[in-house]
């Protein structure tokens, strides 16, 4: 605890102005003490002016009054890193919410802060180094089993220079507070090591050799993403969309099915009802990778929109710090933030109380740099042992009215590598996932041949153009060739871009099945077809769509799957004029 004290001289919402009696630093943590109840409210220094500083309070400031004492800790806002994080549900300050609810009752009380990790549980430690070995920050000294993972125990990230192992426990069961090793620096000063340590959440972890380009696709088993709008391991993406378009459901699907080792969900201001749904469902879901509970490789940071605004910011940084910790073990981590718009609104509210010069729509002028700094903590890194660890960050954005031109969405689009824009029009039409295939884009490479994807995209784009034209001139004013292109675009959208999240077979589609089915779709899009009337062509494509959807609903590589495939192929041959053209040749034919 720092010797610096202070007194409250002003309160504005969740911001308090403090007169200090000694030195303080930016982002230092302090506690406002309520004299009657001795409740201590956790706060963080966000501005210093002479002998005064402003602090954002992570709790309600009700009853905070002029003259209340403030105790400064001399430490930054930190997260505790160690075994026992997986499966936990935390608030923005890394308080375990189930334990907090047991202690505080139905309504969470202010000023209660619990240890993030179980300090009584013993972990089976096995050393990987010996006395006399030289180590630096981030090096592995041993491991403990955590669920299905081999949890690496590391030299704390803040250790500077090189150290020599003076003593180390070869094996045994220890709590996270017990000393398992002792290291000495060049001056001979000793430092004890335990299974856990602390790290400031607003400081990126940089204990790696180099940052490498993300090239490996992150398989989500969602067709429109893996095929059309791929995400890379170590990449970034955002899912803007109006309220009710399915952002939260899409993120839940990605967290269940994505090919990653650890999932961290930061509900940084999402509505409480949707968070409750996540908390109820995840422990009951089976992880397809391990066959165990999905919660065993998931961490949830729960900070709903009804909680104090300052805690929204803390939840975002706490989540990304936990992601960096597991990345340092060489694991692939997916971090989902829902919704970053609430975080930006909290920044706007605090900026207004600080009386800063506002930017567009009253957001702070540093909005873009803050959002960019958050997404820059994603990436694929090469660790000291040669392995690759990745953090993929996906942020949901909730622009008012679905306006993608608003500042938060635009600031996000400048730094992410993938834009999954959700459409009100598609969600109202029950086309899920409601990702707009035309407006969305990706800078990453997927699992399908790019030329084949480009061909399918051109058919889709042309079909949408013809649909818009038909709203004016009707079917009668549309040529047969154009109408056929429109039907092909509609067919592709219905059987491939849309996905039934409630169907056991269609909810998650493996890359092998996506590639196999996509080849059939390309054959259909590229085939030459002729029909006597527009009504006949529409009826035939409706029949084919229903056959294809039945095929989508069968399990991969089963007799039923093969039978449905034969029915689809047979019907396509009936519809085609017998000439299957390459996609480029089909387009050259004047379509």
pLDDT of 214-237, one tens digit each? Answer: 999 999 999 999 999 999 999 999
364 annotated ligand binder: no
Distance CA 205, CA 329 (A): 12
pLDDT at 590: 41
42-64: per-residue pLDDT in tens? 999 999 999 999 999 999 899 99
Looking at the chain, the domain(s) classified CATH 1.10.1140.10 span 450-588
396 annotated ligand binder: no
Q: Where are the alpha helices (DSSP H) in 381-533?
A: 407-413, 424-428, 450-473, 480-492, 511-526
Q: Which residues pair with 79 in a beta bridge?
A: 199
263-280: per-residue pLDDT in tens? 999 988 776 667 777 777
Looking at the chain, the domain(s) classified CATH 2.40.50.100 span 123-195
The backbone region for 379, taken as left when phi is positive above 0, alpha when psi lies in -120 to 50, beta otherwise, is: left
Both tokens of residue 507?
Answer: 């909810």
The backbone region for 493, taken as left when phi is positive above 0, alpha when psi lies in -120 to 50, beta otherwise, is: alpha
pLDDT at 279: 78
Please give the share of the chain, as a percent, with pLDDT higher than 90.
78
> Residue 305: which pLDDT band, with cuts at 50, 70 and 90?
low
230 annotated ligand binder: no
Distance CA 505, CA 221 (A): 11
548 annotated ligand binder: no
Does 1 or 502 have the greater pLDDT score?
502
CATH architecture of the domain 5-75 equals Beta Barrel (2.40)
Residue 356 confidence (pLDDT) above 90: yes
Both tokens of residue 496?
Answer: 């491939």
Which of the 8 DSSP states describes residue 361? G
Average predicted confidence (pLDDT) for the chain: 91
Residue 97 confidence (pLDDT) above 90: no
CATH number of 81-116+209-442: 3.40.50.300
pLDDT at 578: 41
Residue 367 confidence (pLDDT) above 80: yes
Classify strands 332-338 and 388-397 as parallel, antiparallel or unpaired: parallel
Q: Where are the alpha helices (DSSP H) in 140-260?
A: 223, 247-257
From residue 503, how far is each of 223, 248, 258, 285, 434 by CA, in Å? 14, 19, 17, 15, 17
Both tokens of residue 36?
Answer: 């009657």
> Residue 585: which pLDDT band, with cuts at 50, 70 and 90?
very low
Check if the beta carbon of residue 239 is closer than 8 Å to that of residue 395: yes
Distance CA 304, CA 346 (A): 12
Most distant CA pair in the chain, distance: 91
Report whether the peptide linkage leading into residue 433 is cis, meaning its omega lies within 30 degrees of zero: yes
246 annotated ligand binder: yes
42 annotated ligand binder: no
92 annotated ligand binder: no
Please state the rounded mean pLDDT for residues 241-246. Answer: 86
Q: What order do you get walking across the sheet with 181-184 strand by strand?
A: 134-135, 163-168, 181-184, 190-193
Please give the share of the chain, as a percent, with pLDDT higher than 70.
96
> Residue 120: which pLDDT band, with cuts at 50, 70 and 90?
very high
Which of the 8 DSSP states describes residue 296? G
Fold of 450-588: 1.10.1140
- CA angle 348/352/358 to nearest 5° reads 75
Q: Which residues pair with 184 in a beta bridge?
A: 164, 190
Right CATH number for 123-195 from 1.10.760.10, 2.40.50.140, 2.40.50.100, 3.30.70.270? Answer: 2.40.50.100
Residue 586 confidence (pLDDT) above 70: no
> Residue 1: which pLDDT band, with cuts at 50, 70 and 90?
low
Looking at the chain, the domain(s) classified CATH 2.40.10.170 span 5-75
- Compute CA 453 distance to the chain's CA centroid, rounded to the nearest angstrom: 26
pLDDT at 300: 93
Check if the beta carbon of residue 446 is closer than 8 Å to that of residue 426: no
SS3 call for 397: strand
241 annotated ligand binder: yes
166-175: per-residue pLDDT in tens? 999 999 999 9
pLDDT at 580: 34
pLDDT at 437: 94
Distance CA 469, CA 464 (A): 9
pLDDT at 308: 77
Burial class (CB in 10 A: 0-12, 13-18, 19+), 286: exposed
Lowest mean pLDDT among 16-20, 53-57, 241-245: 241-245
Residue 582 confidence (pLDDT) above 50: no
């Amino acid at each position: 605890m720092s010797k610096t004290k202070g007194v409250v001289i002003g309160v504005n919402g969740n911001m308090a102005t403090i007169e200090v009696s000694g030195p303080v630093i930016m982002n230092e943590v302090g506690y406002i003490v309520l004299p009657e109840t001795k409740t201590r409210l956790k706060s963080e220094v966000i501005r210093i002016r002479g002998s005064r500083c402003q602090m954002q309070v992570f709790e309600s400031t009700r009853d905070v009054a002029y003259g209340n004492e403030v105790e400064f800790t001399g430490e930054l806002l930190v997260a505790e890193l160690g075994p026992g994080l997986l499966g936990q549900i935390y608030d923005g300050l890394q308080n375990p919410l189930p334990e907090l609810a047991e202690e505080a009752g139905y309504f969470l009380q202010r000023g209660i802060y619990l240890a993030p990790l179980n300090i009584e549980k013993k972990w089976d430690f096995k050393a990987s180094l010996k006395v006399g070995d030289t180590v630096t920050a981030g090096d592995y000294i041993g491991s403990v089993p955590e669920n299905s993972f081999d949890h690496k125990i590391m030299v704390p990230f803040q250790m500077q220079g090189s150290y020599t192992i003076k003593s180390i426990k070869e094996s045994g069961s220890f709590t996270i507070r017990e000393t398992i090793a002792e290291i000495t620096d060049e001056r001979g000063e000793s430092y004890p090591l335990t299974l856990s340590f602390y790290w400031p959440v607003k400081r990126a972890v940089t204990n790696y050799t180099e940052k490498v380009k993300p090239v490996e696709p992150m398989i989500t088993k969602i067709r429109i993403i893996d095929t059309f709008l791929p995400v890379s391991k170590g990449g970034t993406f955002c899912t803007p969309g109006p309220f009710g378009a399915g952002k939260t459901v899409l993120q839940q699907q990605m967290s269940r099915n994505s090919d990653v080792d650890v999932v961290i969900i930061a509900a940084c201001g999402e509505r409480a009802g949707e968070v409750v749904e996540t908390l109820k469902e995840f422990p009951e879901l089976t992880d397809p990778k391990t066959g165990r509970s999905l919660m065993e490789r998931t961490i949830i940071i729960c900070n709903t929109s009804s909680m104090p605004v300052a805690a929204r910011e803390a939840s975002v940084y706490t989540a990304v710090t936990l992601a960096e910790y597991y990345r340092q073990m060489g694991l692939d981590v997916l971090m989902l933030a829902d919704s970053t718009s609430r975080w930006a609104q909290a920044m706007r509210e605090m900026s207004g109380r600080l009386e800063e010069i506002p930017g567009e729509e009253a957001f702070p002028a540093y909005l873009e740099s803050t959002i960019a700094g958050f997404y820059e903590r994603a990436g694929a890194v090469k660790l000291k042992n040669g392995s690759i660890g990745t953090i993929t960050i996906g942020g949901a954005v909730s622009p008012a009215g679905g306006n993608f031109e608003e500042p938060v969405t635009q600031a996000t689009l400048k730094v992410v590598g993938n834009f999954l824009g959700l459409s009100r029009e598609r969600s109202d039409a029950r086309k899920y996932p409601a990702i707009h295939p035309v407006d969305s884009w990706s800078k990453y490479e997927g699992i399908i041949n790019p030329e084949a994807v480009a061909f399918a995209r051109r058919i889709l784009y042309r079909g949408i153009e013809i649909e818009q034209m038909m709203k004016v001139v009707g079917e009668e004013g549309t040529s047969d060739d154009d109408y056929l292109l429109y039907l092909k675009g509609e067919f592709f959208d219905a059987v491939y871009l849309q996905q039934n999240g409630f169907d056991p077979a269609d909810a998650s589609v493996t890359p092998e099945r996506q590639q196999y089915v996509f080849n059939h779709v390309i054959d259909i899009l590229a085939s030459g077809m002729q029909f006597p009337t527009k009504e006949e062509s529409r009826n035939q494509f409706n029949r084919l769509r229903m056959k294809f959807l039945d095929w989508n609903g069968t399990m991969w590589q089963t007799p039923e799957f093969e039978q449905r495939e034969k029915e689809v192929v047979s019907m396509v041959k009936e519809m085609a004029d017998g000439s299957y053209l390459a996609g480029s040749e089909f387009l050259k034919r004047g379509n």
